[in-house]
Structure 1
């Protein structure tokens, strides 16, 4: 396809994908096939294989063989870095193609999808440096007769289960770091957004990744995902999704081979706004924090905790901002909020909006389904007069729905921010640096932003506290997460015999 001429046009026919094992696509053959309709257009865009457990076993066996013969783990960090850098180069060249299929399957705006691909380029470039710098430690304090080292070694075969909200970005927050330390892997994307995961496998083969190091199986989480969690030959599993499913992942892993787990789960993230903040900047940031990716974002700032003296004024400022946001066709360059990705999520969001009204919250703006003649769209929504016990204030909605809760004191703001089972992310808006630092220390969240939100880069670790998961992705911590530490004690000279 000529991406330059057809980037913003719908495909004439759905693109057919097989799954990816041992460096090549495996055709669908007689397997069942899932046809994905674009949530922004109700048009069939991709056809994806429904892999079987035998397909999964084949992919894991390929990854295991590639790990055991050390075709990847046995390379120098410099050689692994070269493949990661080449991948970054190809991602730049194929940005338009990747963003196009990401937009079609997910419904996010094309401009956002392009920016996400560029962010993924940075992940591969940064991880390439970590492939060269990853190291252990030495202990030269064992006396003249001994020496010891602690080494970092790859875990082995890593399974990665990714969600539908950021199919490519979340994948790339993991893959380069998993590979930098010498692991092999099997990825299973969401069944509704599989295309770009398969494209990355193809690109990495093109970049020189040995066959079998990165494999992709496609299918439903309830069957194929569950089989990955229980698989006895997967040494570690990275799962991104809801806290409820994450709890089931922990239970299943404990019943199989006690595989190591990395979990990034749900969030009900606070944005704390003080009266001394730059309110214009804060209003824009809060609007962005709830509307980015149509609110289908685990670090979405869905709870606005705002100082009472400015609460009404500020809620209106945010509402005014959101009403100006451009909701529409994801393939339109000007769109800021695209389509809701799945029918089920669309029903969930609208259900919470109705529940908010029933619970007595005041609908400030939004709250309705938008009709463009095709696709599924929801206007960004603001509720005021919300109390902490309401479902819309406590449960993860995963949509563009903001709840406004006022506070009077700093201590009350901290208590309200922490009044959740989650601990994924948080923001504070204030021009008082002492206050900002104090809040950042006391709010329980794995990611924290001051006078901004949803910002960062590949250098910074990603992950949650409390029921938002465990482990860290990205940054130096993200590579170390996929290693295990081995201590090696070396005795020198003649042994002092135990048996004389």
Structure 2
């Protein structure tokens, strides 16, 4: 560990946070102490909110919505606050990145890049706030005009995960705000700091009180209560498909609130023999290792044409062995720590299961002992069969399974052989193959000769059991609105009852 990582970025004492409701900070009743997954030292103390706290937050969001302090602002007014928030993020970029690293374990260089994306989200949403519109029907006859009004849905509950605490927050919050909705946010218990810091930045930007509220605590208590709350009009949840199902049940058993769900993935990356194999191998290594594979769109299934499979796997092994795993504050680090102890155990158990089921281990396959924290080597299995657990289940770690194919039809079939449909990637120099496969693989995001590319202008979301709805871009604003049909008659009425 170099001098920087020995202490320059570590707090002397854990930072204690309050929670945020109705434009004010509130002291906690009990706290959760979070240890850095990279350094094994306490870094934050986060309040464990109660159901009464949640009720207070929802009531504040309801009042702020009904009084029109936010929804009643012109789009230009909302845009101005979102742009000032983007400037606040730019000023506090290093501070936010530091707390992301301390609580999550991701490399500092990655965290800074994510915050740049978050700034872009607020800037794009600011423009979108001025473009929200309805429609009109001037074809109903001379005496009848039809209009469609797009209105904010109301109070939104937002539950965010621990793998991208700030990125996923900012892929939702600015677009929800652009629509005119108000929010109650419940971040993951282990990574709550930056969600609370955003409350401070939004308040400084001029967001009216009650529009953005943060309650912290465990998913099984506060998260469940938010999903069930009868005065929440819509719930946006990002996390596992299993918990997503519980959100569906909670909505059905309460007020049938609208749901936006971004759930699990078992994403394919297809490599044809005519691809630039070195470019593709670098993308595959990045796709499974980014954020230590704790990424819903990570490319966890390699599907490579059989004629080049062994050559490609050899190139890939060489790439993966060179990935730098270590302290996230070291600027040379490419993979940081596994975020939670339970996830670390889960990943290691899947690696053991892959070995036991007969998959061929080509590289990695073990924990790394750095004397502190929890780290896992990037791992590649070959000769994987569709029945194996590592082939079918979302591991959420740096573990890649390799499959071989002979024809494009076989590649498409393997890619679609999953309950998920979140993302996919394809590598080929043949435009016909690229378009054919892109149109037939069922995934909400698709990359051709690139990986994890794009910006907040384009929507994100999944097919099949990877979720409902879309986030980001104009569709991400419209997701949090509802449409009202209006008909206006001109001239006198033709009486139904004769005079």
Structure-1-length-normalised TM-score: 0.98
State the alpha-carbon separation in 1 of the partners of residues 293 and 330 from structure 2.
19
| Pick aligned residue for 2:484 from 471, 479, 486 | 486
Query: Aligned with 1:302: secondary structure?
Result: strand
- Residue 120 of structure 2 is aligned to residue 119 of structure 1: no
- Residue 175 of structure 2 is aligned to residue 180 of structure 1: no
- Residue 20 of structure 2 is aligned to residue 24 of structure 1: no
Residue in 1 aligned with 2:220?
222
Matches of residues 1-400 of structure 1 in structure 2 within 5 Å? Answer: 8-28=8-28, 31-400=29-398
Q: Which runs of 5+ in 2 are unaligned?
A: none
Shift of 1:27: 1.4
Q: Is the 8 A contact 1:23 1:202 kept in 2?
A: no
CA RMSD, 1 decimal: 1.2
State the alpha-carbon separation in 1 of the partners of residues 422 and 273 from structure 2.
25
Shift of 1:276: 0.2
State the alpha-carbon separation in 2 of the partners of residues 392 and 347 from structure 1.
15
Shift of 1:497: 2.1
Shift of 1:373: 0.6
Q: Is the 8 A contact 2:5 2:327 kept in 1?
A: no
Shift of 1:313: 1.2
Residue in 2 aligned with 1:421?
419
Query: Aligned with 1:275: secondary structure?
Result: coil
Query: Aligned with 1:457: secondary structure?
Result: coil
Shift of 1:22: 0.9
Deviates more, 1:312-321 or 1:347-356: 312-321
Q: Map Cα deviations across residues 221-250 of structure 1 (whole Å, 9 max, x no partner).
A: 001100001000000000001011111110
Query: Aligned with 2:191: secondary structure?
Result: coil
State the alpha-carbon separation in 1 of the partners of residues 301 and 407 from structure 2.
17
Q: Map Cα deviations across residues 406-437 of structure 1 (whole Å, 9 max, x no partner).
A: 00111000000000000000000000011001
State the alpha-carbon separation in 1 of the partners of residues 348 and 466 from structure 2.
24
Q: Map Cα deviations across residues 161-214 of structure 1 (whole Å, 9 max, x no partner).
A: 000000000000000000001000000000000000001111001001000000
Shift of 1:496: 1.8
Query: Aligned with 1:427: secondary structure?
Result: strand
The verdict on how the C-alpha distance between 1:5 and 1:323 changes in structure 2, with shifts beyond 3 A counting, is: closer
Q: Is the 8 A contact 2:360 2:381 kept in 1?
A: yes
Shift of 1:8: 4.6
Q: Map Cα deviations across residues 260-305 of structure 1 (whole Å, 9 max, x no partner).
A: 0000000000000000000010000000000000000000000000
Shift of 1:7: 9.2
Query: Aligned with 1:493: secondary structure?
Result: coil
State the alpha-carbon separation in 2 of the partners of residues 25 and 430 from structure 1.
53
The verdict on how the C-alpha distance between 1:354 and 1:227 changes in structure 2, with shifts beyond 3 A counting, is: same
Shift of 1:499: 2.4
- Residue 434 of structure 2 is aligned to residue 436 of structure 1: yes
The total of aligned residue pairs comes to: 495
| Pick aligned residue for 1:405 from 367, 392, 403 | 403
Q: Map Cα deviations across residues 285-341 of structure 1 (whole Å, 9 max, x no partner).
A: 000000000000000000000000111111121111111111000111111000000
Q: Is the 8 A contact 1:446 1:463 kept in 2?
A: yes
Q: Which runs of 5+ in 1 are unaligned?
A: none
Structure-2-length-normalised TM-score: 0.98
